């Protein structure tokens, strides 16, 4: 099964960095990976917290250079007492530094700026270290609200504003962080599956946002969220190049219906078809120039035989 299907939602990550901008960025990216994030701007306090609240973190990401405590020292302490996987992070990628990280027991070394792709796989360190990770732990509630999980510990006089030239940017972004809008709902395949289940359960006629929402029972998910999703359908679908349709590599199996329910109906058919096919891409077409802008056309690439079968169903 593809890794993405079983993505470990809720991995509890502690990020330590004296630079608030980095913290914020990391936090956002980790949230996108659907991890639970705690940030800390001061290594000493991070250490205290980690020790006091053992078993509430799965992984630590720490900067190398910090005013109050060297990242390597923190790494050492954690390795000594806590046995948590630690990832070091720095803008400095000198071999000697990386080596130092590894020899001190870091399980990875991320170079700043960190890309989200690199973060998607960090959970594997936890699996590797612990041998397992409970994928289903707390799978139902999604980390919408960063403020809930964000533990900001600011050190008093060790500043973030060490580097000149960065000051303005930092302040602007901190400001931004304070007014951080709630995270947008990400319609992951899991969430979408629940959506589809709810729709199926209700039947197409009764599948309206409110009812769907109630059946889904996802904390924080609003009727509007569902309505929006209902309107446009699955956000996690791969959008394939339209060229491929022209090239007739794909068959359009369903052309648009007018209403929202039409869309859901199509969706259900597509899911049905997909359940019978191993390797196919699905995608949606439609652009603003199209007079049927919100008429979604769903295509599936599959053998012509299946194509015809699907039309019969």
Size of the site for DNA (CB under 7 A): 32
Which residue among 39, 225, 266, 310 contacts DNA (CB under 7 A)?
Answer: 225
Taking contact as CB under 7 A, which single stretch among the options 85-93, 106-114, 207-215, 273-281 is the one that binds DNA? 207-215
In terms of CB distance, is 33 or 64 closer to DNA?
Answer: 33
Q: Which one among 186, 268, 277, 306 touches DNA, defined by CB under 7 A?
A: 186
Task: Name which position in 224, 308, 309, 311 contacts DNA (CB under 7 A).
Answer: 224
Check binding of 223 to DNA (CB under 7 A): yes
- Footprint of DNA on 81-100 (CB under 7 A): none
Span near DNA by CB under 7 A; candidates 16-24, 64-72, 74-82, 217-225: 217-225
Residues between 238 and 277 with contacts to DNA, criterion CB under 7 A: 239, 258-261
> In this complex, which beta carbon is closest to DNA, that of residue 42 or of residue 254?
254
Neighbour count for residue 197 (Cβ, 10 Å): 13
Shortest reach from residue 117's CB to DNA, in Å: 11
Binders in 155-184 for DNA, by CB under 7 A? 181, 184
For DNA, the binding residue among 294, 303, 308, 311 (CB under 7 A) is 294
Which of 109, 237, 265, 307 touches DNA by CB under 7 A? 237
Integer angstrom CA distances of residue 222 from 160, 201, 210, 215: 37, 19, 8, 12
> Which one of residues 129, 235, 281, 307 is an interface residue with DNA (CB under 7 A)?
235
Q: Is residue 238 reached through a cis peptide bond, with omega within 30 degrees of 0 on the bond before it? A: no
Beta carbon nearer to DNA, 81 or 241: 241
Which one, 32 or 124, has the nearer CB to DNA? Answer: 32
Residue 202 binds DNA (CB under 7 A): no
Under the criterion CB under 7 A, does residue 141 sit at the interface with DNA? no
If one asks whether residue 185 binds DNA (CB under 7 A), the answer comes out as yes
- Residues 71 and 46: beta-carbon distance below 8 Å: no
Q: Give, in degrees to the nearest 5, the angle at Cα 280 between 278 and 285.
A: 150
Q: Of 49 and 218, which has the nearer Cβ to DNA? A: 218
Judged by CB under 7 A, does residue 208 bind DNA? yes
Which positions touch DNA (CB under 7 A)?
Answer: 32, 181, 184-187, 208-211, 223-225, 227-232, 234-237, 239, 258-261, 284, 287, 293-294
């Amino acid at each position: 099964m593809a890794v993405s299907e079983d993505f470990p939602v809720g991995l509890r990550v502690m990020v330590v960095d004296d630079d608030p901008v980095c913290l914020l960025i990391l936090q956002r990216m980790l949230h996108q990976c659907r991890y639970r994030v705690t940030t800390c701007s001061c290594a000493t306090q991070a250490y205290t917290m980690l020790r006091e609240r053992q078993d509430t973190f799965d992984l630590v990401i720490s900067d190398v250079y910090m005013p109050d405590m060297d990242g390597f020292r923190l790494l050492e302490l954690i390795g000594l007492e806590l046995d948590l996987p630690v990832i070091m992070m720095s803008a400095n990628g000198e071999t000697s530094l990386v080596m130092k990280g590894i020899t001190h027991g870091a399980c990875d070394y991320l170079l700043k700026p960190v890309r989200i792709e690199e973060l998607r796989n960090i959970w594997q360190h936890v699996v590797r270290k612990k041998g397992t990770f409970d994928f289903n732990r707390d799978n139902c509630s999604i980390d919408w609200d960063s403020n809930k999980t964000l533990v900001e510990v600011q050190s008093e006089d060790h500043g973030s504003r060490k580097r000149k030239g960065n000051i303005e940017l930092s302040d602007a972004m901190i400001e931004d962080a304070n007014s951080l809008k709630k995270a947008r709902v990400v319609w992951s395949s899991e969430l979408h599956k629940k959506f589809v289940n709810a729709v199926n359960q209700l039947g197409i006629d009764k599948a309206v946002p409110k009812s769907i929402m109630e059946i889904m029972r996802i904390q924080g998910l609003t009727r509007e969220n569902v309505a929006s999703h209902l309107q446009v359908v699955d956000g996690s679908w791969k959008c394939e190049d339209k060229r491929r349709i022209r090239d007739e590599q794909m068959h359009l199996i369903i052309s648009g219906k007018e209403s929202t329910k039409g869309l859901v109906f199509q969706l259900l058919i597509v899911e049905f078809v997909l359940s019978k096919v191993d390797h196919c891409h699905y995608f949606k077409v439609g652009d603003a120039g199209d007079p049927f802008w919100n008429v979604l056309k769903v295509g599936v690439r599959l053998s012509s035989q299946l194509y015809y079968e699907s039309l019969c169903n």
